[in-house]
Amino acid sequence: MSETSAGEISAEQVAHLANLARIDLSPEELESLTKELGQIVESVAKVQEVAGPDVPATSHPLPLTNVFRQDVVRPSLTVEQALSGAPEREGDRFSVATILEEE
Amino acid sequence: MANSTARKVQLMDYDRALELFEPALGFEVHVELNTKTKMFCGCANEFGSGANTNTCPTCLGLPGGMPQVNEKAIESSIRLGLALGCEIAESSRFARKNYFYPDLAKDFQTSQYDEPIAHDGSITIELESGREITIAIERAHMEEDAGKLTHVGGATGRIHGADHSLVDFNRGGVPLVEIVTKIIEGAEADAPEVGRAYVRVIRDIVKGLGISNARMEEGNVRCDANISLRPRGTTTLGTRTETKNVNSLRSIERAVRYEIQRQAAILEAGGTIVQETRHWHEDSGTTSAGRPKSDADDYRYFPEPDLVPVAPSREWVEELRGTLPEPPATRRKRLTAEWGFTALEFQDVANADLLDEVEATIAAGAGPAAARKWWTGEIARLANAQNVPAGTLVSPRHVAELAALVDSGTLTDRLARQVLEGVIAGEGGPQEVVDARGLAVVSDDGALIAAIDEALAAQPDVLAKIRDGKVQAAGAVIGAVMKAMKGQADAARVRELILERAAATE
Amino acid sequence: MTDLTRLSASDLAERLASREVSSEEAVRAHLDRIEAVDADVHAFLHVAADKALRTAAEIDGRRAAGERLGPLAGVPIAIKDVLATEDMPSTAGSKILEGWLPPYDATVVRRLREADLVPLGKTNMDEFAMGSSTEHSAYGPTRNPWDLERIPGGSGGGSAAAVSAFEAPIALGSDTGGSIRQPAAVTGSVGVKPTYGGVSRYGAIALASSLDQVGPVSRTVLDAGLLHDVIGGHDPLDSTSLSDTWPSMADAARAGRREGALSGVRVGVIRELAGEGFQKGVKQRFDEALVLLESAGAEIVEVGAPSFEYAVSAYYLILPAEASSNLARFDSVRFGLRVNPSDPPVTVERVMAATRDAGFGPEVKRRIILGTYALSAGYYDAYYGSAQKVRTLIQRDFSAAFEKVDVLVSPSAPTTAFKLGEKIDDPMAMYLNDITTIPANLAGIPGMGLPIGLAPEDGLPVGMQLMAPARADARLYTYGSALERLLEEQWGHTLLSQAPDLSATEMFASEEGAV
């Protein structure tokens, strides 16, 4: 995968990202997405202007720490509730098509 | 499905491989914690429940589900980190590891990335030869387990050839601690044993801490082995492979050895090692290629926004340090010396996983040799026959009592074994069984003399021989007397009395 | 007979408490209204008529038996479809969740049921809350009750339209970058985004976890406060929820009605959001509102927030990154849509990709891919990492500002409601609608949007945004309520009373200068 300068994004990259995100894209979608994303990436890249090394990152707006739960069992969903949305099931398990890749 | 491949895998002779190449190792061990609930929700952490009976919106990855951190899991992770000699982070964060797989309910795993709970530790292992090796620990971090996949329709229940798969999320979300070593160099020819010994020590540590059931055969402790070779005299590390599915200590040893031999053969023939995941096959004793590691392994880690940092106070850490049991190596040295065992004798006990039982039996008053003899001998034999752990058959206290009865002469060794059977059968403690079954050695000389006289009368030629000075002949009489006494006699005393009687009745 | 749908929630609650009116009557009146106008407005994706009437009757029964009920008991409410409801489909405006019945209630839904509010149904929204116009809903857009050719704002256009069309007195919404406050502005209603962590997110289908908050949507500030009191507070199931004991927001609103509520209050106008480049009528009404505040004793202070220039960019990196991860779970395995690929092999990997292609709309795909990019190896520092730093700078700007002022104000949106279809093909133009509201989400501070008039050039509603320091939500209610009173006194009526009559056969925009 070739590196492009910040702000540009290639169709090849978009196809790779779509694969990472498990979304099929038609060729038309790929083309329009590449164009749109190029524009967006160009404008959002400006965050690098002010993100100096001395500025810490904030991932939580309000700083909390040590929020814990006691190791006490809480009621689970019933099996029927758990399976209620299953597109396909076999007995009490979710059924999926053959898996290509081992984990 | 056949395990045989059209192309036979070349293996280099192990010793030759070590002559040409230097192995480098790394181990990733996953420990399943035995908390009551899962890592991020209150669903029960238990085995054997009906499929999908222990799930909730959080661990099932339903829209709107959110995680809540199990305090006990944090505590166990910190204790494990301390036992591994690690620094406990002042601030630690969870991170999302993003990838798609049907057994991953959220299609990301909540794990830890650049701020693990524990880092930079070390443990020392001892090999059978007595060689000690210090293994540097890179980190120990917390994460959650995935659900369980069953593959349907294929020949052996594996992915290949399966028609479809079924998912059970009961185990999804169970707390895991992943322990990662730094690269281990210098193990040399001991590499396979190093792997085995290292994982064994980890297992003993987590068992001693009480944070895991520590049964490898049940997946409580899982090991991935990283192996690479470099030609002797070079400094650049070779390409490594990661071998998974090694489910026992013996497998680790075999897998490391196999990979060294396999990689050596490839390198010697001018080939290159593919950086890949490999699977260990217990039945054939081989590894096979899994999927190659590639750019597709971009997990896009970022800090978990639904959880806040874990910042264990130094007071809490020290409090937990105070709860640590003695490290296995220290304990081993201390007990070996205290008990006066040889290294091999101690090894016997340790290998049979009977250290705790033997220690408790000695604490209850038995001598070390007797404790070892009973546990690794008769009790282990009976346990294996019944396929149960030895510790479930009889208590250390009872074993100590039994040993005392033999010591005092109340029981012979043979009688003691009968008493043991009775105790195991639930008839009571040793003394109770002795009394109930009347198994005590007869100490009343009178009864013995009566039996002796009878036996001598029945064998007059033996009597004559004894009087002649051929004392060995007494053996024939001893047997008869023991039989008459139903074994409840001290054979040495019987012999003494026979000689006395033979002389007296002249 | 009073039109029950024209009452505020608090007025209705009073009549319910005195038993002048039954909950069943009130619910029926609103169901009738929905039937009369929702074919045009399309605020609702699901209406639970039978269940609502049964619930109302049950509440009436308990009240008749002498049971003492809560302040909003028996009042009907609409719920944004982003919230999990056990008895109603929860789609988040997406085809991928069409018909999905959650096996559980979101915490806020459980709380409103426990407080005896009566859910009427689920409201429309941009798919997965991604949007500013509700045009990205997979179920068709919602139309602005002020002009059915125009957008009601987004992503919570359905809830805002429902209250401004008098289909429900109050509603629940969610706000990630303005999804409550901006629809409030363009529909002439009230909406509040609480302090981050002030209201539980458990059961709210996640978009961007570090930005999302659930909040009240209403026609009056007091109503928003009453609803806020029901839903707010710590939830052990949400590890980011605050354990603070909160004061009553309803009481804070009532305090704003007192004489002198605004005297000495320092009101900060953010230079970067003061209306330069905004629609003329929006700026005009905003400036007029400032004058009004001043006349009531407030001090207007100009403050600068230089890092706000980067807020939209940071937002459109953080949101897609977190969303790309939050939306990964829509994988065809455990719930929702499953689509097989049209050609073999049918592997789970291909089923996932085909499902997500069919189930996600273009805006969602756009943001997922963008977010995947922002997090990917080699790009993290430049994009996501940098955006999180901008967040720090924005928090610092707010902290500095709040040293000098008690509350910050800006127009809630740069324009009044634009026409359906006008901005749908230009993502960046759409994103810039959130320029005023995004900073509060990035910083985690609370914000309120309330109506301040109609723009003279088009007669469409204009809203003002108030922002307070984190945890000072009550301040918004006091000052907002005070401003509301001043405006309504000036007008002689509420703003929404001027909305066009939807039950007439033809739609028309309100006259110019209706205020």
pLDDT value at residue C1: 63
For chain B, domains (ranges, CATH) are: 14-317 (no CATH), 326-437 (no CATH), 445-504 (1.10.10.410)
CB contact under 8 A, C331 and A22: yes
Distance separating alpha carbons of residues B479 and C452, to the nearest angstrom: 115
Mean pLDDT of B78-107: 97
Domain ranges in chain C are 4-308+392-498
pLDDT value at residue B54: 98
Neighbours of A30 (CB within 10 A): 16
pLDDT value at residue A1: 41
CB contact under 8 A, C366 and A33: yes
Which residues on A lie below 8 Å from B102 (Cβ)?
94, 96, 99
Our CA-based measurement puts residue A92 at a distance from the nearest CA of chain B, in whole angstroms, of 6
Any CB–CB contact under 8 A between B449 and chain C? Answer: no
Which residues on A lie below 8 Å from C333 (Cβ)?
87, 94, 96
The most distant pair of C-alpha atoms in chain B lies apart, rounded to whole Å, by 102
- 3-class secondary structure, C408: strand
Our CA-based measurement puts residue A88 at a distance from the nearest CA of chain B, in whole angstroms, of 10
Mean pLDDT of B171-179: 98
CB contact under 8 A, B42 and A72: yes
* Chains in contact with A, where contact requires at least 3 CB pairs less than 8 Å apart: B, C
Any CB–CB contact under 8 A between A69 and chain C? Answer: yes
Rg (CA), chain B: 30
Residue of A nearest to B53 (CA): A79
pLDDT value at residue B4: 46
> What tokens were used for A35?
């164009």
Mean pLDDT of B443-466: 84
Over the stretch A52-74, which tens digit does the pLDDT of each residue have? 999 999 989 999 999 999 999 99
* pLDDT tier, A4 (very low <50, low <70, confident <90, very high otherwise): very low
Over the stretch C42-101, which tens digit does the pLDDT of each residue have? 999 999 999 999 999 999 999 999 999 999 999 999 999 999 999 999 999 999 999 999
Q: What's B179's DSSP letter?
A: E
pLDDT value at residue A5: 46
* pLDDT tier, A103 (very low <50, low <70, confident <90, very high otherwise): low
Cβ under 8 Å to C: A residues 3-62: 3, 6, 9, 13-14, 17-26, 29, 33, 36-37, 39-41, 43-52, 55-62
Distance separating alpha carbons of residues B434 and B501, to the nearest angstrom: 30
* Chains in contact with B, where contact requires at least 3 CB pairs less than 8 Å apart: A, C
pLDDT value at residue A3: 44
Using the Cα atoms of residue B41, residue B44, residue B46 and residue B47 in order, give the sign of their dihedral.
Answer: negative
Residue C153's contacts (CB-CB under 8 Å, 6 or more residues apart) are: C132, C133, C134, C144, C160, C182, C183, C184, C185, C186, C187, C413, C417
pLDDT value at residue B293: 64
B363 has a pLDDT exceeding 60:
yes
Mean pLDDT of B97-124: 97
Our CA-based measurement puts residue B245 at a distance from the nearest CA of chain C, in whole angstroms, of 23
Our CA-based measurement puts residue B68 at a distance from the nearest CA of chain C, in whole angstroms, of 6
Residue C356 has, within 13 A of its CA and on its CB side, a CA count of: 27
C399 is catalytic: no
Residue of A nearest to B297 (CA): A20
- Which secondary-structure segment (H or E) carries B303? strand B302-303
Q: How far is CA B433 from its chain centroid?
A: 33
- Poorest-confidence range of B267-281, B449-463, C223-237? B449-463
C155 is catalytic: yes
Which residues on A lie below 8 Å from B35 (Cβ)?
71
Distance separating alpha carbons of residues C160 and C168, to the nearest angstrom: 10
Is pTM beyond 0.90? Reply is no
Mean per-residue pLDDT over chain C, rounded: 95
Any CB–CB contact under 8 A between A66 and chain B? Answer: yes
CB contact under 8 A, C369 and A18: yes
Ranges of residues in chain C whose predicted pLDDT is under 50: 505-515
* Chains in contact with C, where contact requires at least 3 CB pairs less than 8 Å apart: A, B
pLDDT value at residue B296: 52
Distance separating alpha carbons of residues A32 and A28, to the nearest angstrom: 6
Residue of B nearest to C206 (CA): B64
pLDDT value at residue C513: 33
Our CA-based measurement puts residue B97 at a distance from the nearest CA of chain A, in whole angstroms, of 13
B158 has a pLDDT exceeding 90:
no
CB contact under 8 A, C102 and B57: yes
CB contact under 8 A, B100 and A91: no
Predicted ipTM? 0.95
Annotated catalytic residue, options C137, C155, C164, C410: C155
Residue C292 to residues A71, C82, C299: CA-CA distances in angstroms? 56, 37, 11
pLDDT value at residue B159: 74
CB contact under 8 A, A22 and C332: no
* pLDDT tier, B251 (very low <50, low <70, confident <90, very high otherwise): very high
Any CB–CB contact under 8 A between A102 and chain B? Answer: yes
- 3-class secondary structure, C453: strand
CB contact under 8 A, B98 and C90: no
B246 vs C458: which has the higher pLDDT:
C458
DSSP for chain A, please give it: -----TT---HHHHHHHHHHTT----HHHHHHHHHHHHHHHHHHTTHHHH--TTSPP-SSSS-----EE-S-------HHHHHTT-SSEETTEEEEEBP-S--
CB contact under 8 A, A67 and B41: no
Over the stretch B283-297, which tens digit does the pLDDT of each residue have? 899 999 886 666 457
pLDDT value at residue B440: 80
Which residues on A lie below 8 Å from B46 (Cβ)?
none
Which residues on C lie below 8 Å from B67 (Cβ)?
239
Annotated catalytic residue, options C10, C23, C80, C122: C80
Mutation site, A16, A64, A69, A81, interface B, largest B CB count within 10 A: A69
Distance separating alpha carbons of residues C484 and B50, to the nearest angstrom: 58
- 3-class secondary structure, C145: coil
Task: Provide the number of CB pairs (under 8 Å) joining chain A to chain C.
Answer: 185
CB contact under 8 A, B43 and A101: no
C95 is catalytic: no
Our CA-based measurement puts residue B157 at a distance from the nearest CA of chain A, in whole angstroms, of 12
pLDDT value at residue B336: 87
CB contact under 8 A, C382 and A87: no
pLDDT value at residue B493: 84
pLDDT value at residue B454: 87
Distance separating alpha carbons of residues C215 and B361, to the nearest angstrom: 65
pLDDT value at residue C57: 98
Any CB–CB contact under 8 A between B165 and chain C? Answer: yes
Mutation site, A8, A22, A74, interface C, largest C CB count within 10 A: A22
Share of chain C above pLDDT 70, in %: 97
CATH class of C4-308+392-498: alpha beta
